[in-house]
Structure 1
Amino acid sequence: MSLRLSTVILPYRRWHEGSRRTWQQAEQLGFHTAYTYDHLSWRSFRDGPWFGALPTLTAAAAVTEQLRLGTLVTSPNFRHPVTLAKELISLDDISGGRVTLGIGAGGTGFDATALGQEPWTPRERADRFAEFVPLLDRLLTEDTVSYEGDFYSAHEARNIPGCLQRPRLPFAVAATGPRGLRLAARHGQAWVTTGDPKLYEEGTPEQSVQAIRGQIEKLGDACAAIGRDGGAMDKILLTGFTPDRARPLESLTAFVDFAGRHRELGFTEIVIHWPIPDSDFAADEKVFEQIATEATSQLK
């Protein structure tokens, strides 16, 4: 099974002060997809520059030709399916059909309270996500949608001409719980995980692999329940949140070992963060470029 290598470019720099060049370089290095986070701000970047995901991806679409583009991940925390669908259809058109929507239930970070609401409980997030994803699916595939749900409404929402990608742009659904995995099985063209967050601080790489194997088995069960082949579903690992931390980016050999172990689990795509000095994503840029240009050939 071939393994694709992608990257995440965080939107923390002004477009004309380096960000534009980074997206172009991602294409030149041969990455399959360049994603960005869809947050209003994020963790240690809270008090610094941070730009919107969809305008950034639109700009990136205009200065690249082959590179796929996407979010990892968009969530209901501050998005509404009706307005999001309109923006995604526009982005898909501008990019020439190169967009993937990474989508998840969201968390308890800054996004959860930026609109003045109280943070939702895990159950409340799951409830909203269970309504958000099917409605967004409809909005991206049907010309006109009316819907009245517990959390979201649409009244004759029109999305003509729809996505350039048919029947719609692909969803990469981030999920580990049973309800989220069922959504991934039914609506996702891909599934996304960052591993088991409970192992981040004190777990071992071996424990992480075992936990991820368990997630994949549960995804397979969710797929089987609706008659879908879970083994054929694309599986994406967003790195940087397993006990290994930055270790896979220390050398080409370390990355090939890491990627090989996870390819054996069934992953079809591994995503690494573009290096950011003096941050959790600091890495040697020369090693990063070597991984980008050489790793996949060593994994064949």
Structure 2
Amino acid sequence: MSLRLSTVILPYRRWNEGGRSAWTRAEQLGFHTAYTYDHLSWRSFRDGPWFGAIPTLTAAAAATGRLRLGTLVTSPNFRHPVTLAKELISLDDISGGRVTLGVGAGGAGFDATVLGQEPWTPRERADRFAEFVPLLDRLLTEDSVSHEGDFYSAHEARNIPGCVQRPRLPFAVAATGPRGLRLAARHGQAWVTTGDPKLFETGTPEQSVHAIRGQIEKLTDACAAQGRDVNELDKILLTGFTPDRGRPLESLDAFVDFAGRHQELGFTELVLHSPIPGSDFAADEKVFEQIAMEAPAQLG
């Protein structure tokens, strides 16, 4: 199976000061999808510029014609399914059906407390995610939805005419735990992982591959329990969070070696961060562009 290359463009630049050109360049380089983080701010970027994901993707939709667009990932931390569904249907329409929703349970940090709430426990995040995803699925596929749940409500929420993509835009579900994997198996058209976070600081690339293989085995079991073939789901690796860190972007050969090892695991898409000087995602722009243009032919 061929391996697609995609990119993440963080929304830290004004649209007319490098923001627009980053998205059009991603299309020129041949990336399959360009994603952005759906946060209100993020880690080391918290005290600097950071723009909203949906408006940014809407502008990117108008500036491009082929490139798929998506969030990586949206979470319940500050989103409600009813308002999110309306925005996604609008974005899918404006883009002509080029949107993928990356969705995850979220985590601790700024997004988890910015609305004034106490941080949710891992259990509560999982509980909310288990309600969030099925409700969002309904909102994107049904003309009118009413729902009274433990965390979310909808009263005759109208979403006509629905998505351009039918029956709805695809979900790429980020998950490694059993409940999240069940959601991916039930509702996902793709599954997303960043690897095993426990290995990031002290693990080895070999240990990372072993851990990811275990995640895929658990995904396979979750799909089987839902009566689905795991091969129905695309498998997406968001790079930069494994023990390899930025080494795969040091040269074309280094990336092809990294990508080949993960392609053998069954991944269908690798996502590379667009280089950001002076950050954790610093990389040689020329090498990044060479990878985008030459690596797909080498990987088949």
TM-score normalised by the shorter chain: which range applies? over 0.9
Shift of 1:232: 3.0
Aligned to 1:216: 216
2:94 corresponds to 1:94: yes
2:280 corresponds to 1:280: yes
Aligned to 1:30: 30
Aligned to 2:150: 150
Shift of 1:233: 1.4
Aligned to 1:127: 127
User: Which structure 1 residue ranges, 5 or more long, are not aligned?
Assistant: none
**Equivalent residues in 2 for 1:1-300 (5 A)?**
1-300=1-300
CA RMSD of aligned residues (A): 0.4
Shift of 1:159: 0.1
Q: Distance in 1 between matches of 2:232 and 2:182?
A: 16
Instruction: Output the amino acid matched with 2:125.
Output: R
Shift of 1:231: 2.5
Classify the secondary structure of the residue corresponding to 1:30: coil
Shift of 1:226: 1.2
Contact 2:76/2:128 (CA < 8 Å) preserved in 1? yes
Classify the secondary structure of the residue corresponding to 1:72: strand
Q: Distance in 2 between matches of 1:273 and 1:123?
A: 30
Q: Distance in 2 between matches of 1:264 and 1:51?
A: 36
Size of the alignment, in residue pairs?
300
Superposed CA offset, 1:177-217 (max 9, x none):
00000000000000000000000000000000000000000
Shift of 1:123: 0.4
Contact 2:189/2:232 (CA < 8 Å) preserved in 1? no
Identity of aligned residues (%): 88
Q: Distance in 2 between matches of 1:227 and 1:60?
A: 37
User: Which structure 2 residue ranges, 5 or more long, are not aligned?
Assistant: none
Shift of 1:32: 0.1
Q: Distance in 2 between matches of 1:107 and 1:9?
A: 20
Q: Distance in 2 between matches of 1:125 and 1:102?
A: 16
Superposed CA offset, 1:238-280 (max 9, x none):
0000000000000000000000000000000000000000000
Contact 2:192/2:235 (CA < 8 Å) preserved in 1? yes
